[in-house]
Amino acid sequence: MTTRFAAVQACREAYALAEGPVWDQARERLLWVDIDAGTVHEGRLDLATGAVTATTAHTFGGTVGAVAVSADGEFLVAEREVLTRVDAGGRRTELARVLPPGVRSRLNDGAVDPAGRFLIGSMALDDREGQDVLARLDGTGCVLLDDDLTLSNGLAWSPSGDRLYSIDSVPRVVWERAYDPVTGQAGPRRELFRLADGMPDGMCADADGNLWIAVYGGGRVECRDLGGRLLAVVEVGAPDVTCPAFAGPDLDVLVITTAGGGADPARHPGAGRLFTARVGVRGLATPYWAPPRS
């Protein structure tokens, strides 16, 4: 039997394309991005109410697909084509170029692997298919894992760190591959399952190894086991659900981002807001990004 939950709206602010929530355990803060506004947001999570209060915004010159944080509080920001390091004093340094200049693509979803490496995918901004990438940042250079994607999206690892799951949204595929959490080496990918109804977007894993997948255009987050069986559904009061992440000191609050840019606010007043839900399971702690040594 599929368990059903209802998420509650967590903030008043509406974002054009909120994405990539990250829980910074050491500082008990939530990070997320507004891709189209080119902004990284910091906020606080009220455990009693599930409300999220935005506290600080960092604006960049173009799109911002994802953010990661180090144990010392430095940011790694995926701008349109490059990865930018932001130190504790706010100084910004281009760390690595992922996409060639002027390509009709942008960086999209990213995540940190169990050893602190950052993985980032890209998506086409035109009708090209099968030409975008998933890359791993090693030091100040990138290693390609895939170069045949259309809309690289959600990333998650198994509780042991030895399996990597990734999404290509346009064909609606969740991929799986072996992953060495020590070296970052990835094996060949295989199709785990496809969504028949709705486009898979962002993704996270829980402590039991099940996958929580945002269904863009479907107004929900789905929890599926590795065989693709639907275990739970979180109904969200916005159609374009972009990404879930577990947050809070006990990693038992599911934070969900949504997009507001394409929705009619009269019909969908929750579009572009953040939502939260208690779903009865705990997530995996988000590893801290390990910056390259100077």
Residue 167 to residue 199: CA distance in whole angstroms = 10
Measure CA of the first residue to CA of the last residue in the chain; give whole Å: 53
39-45 CB contacts, 8 Å cutoff, 24+ apart: 39/64, 40/64, 40/67, 40/75, 40/77, 43/11, 45/247, 45/248, 45/253, 45/255, 45/276
C-beta separation of 216 from 194 below 8 A: no
CA atoms lying within 13 Å on the CB side of residue 232 = 20
SS3 category, 252: coil
Residue 259 to residue 271: CA distance in whole angstroms = 6
Residue-by-residue DSSP string for 64-81: --EEEEBTTS-EEEE-SS
C-beta separation of 243 from 20 below 8 A: yes
Q: 66-69 and 52-59: which strand pairing?
A: unpaired
Residues catalogued as catalytic: 201
Q: Which two tokens stand for residue 57?
A: 């915004």
C-beta separation of 7 from 212 below 8 A: no
C-beta separation of 158 from 143 below 8 A: no
> Dihedral sign, CA of 191, 186, 75, 26?
positive
Residue 257 to residue 216: CA distance in whole angstroms = 11
Q: Which two tokens stand for residue 288?
A: 């801290």
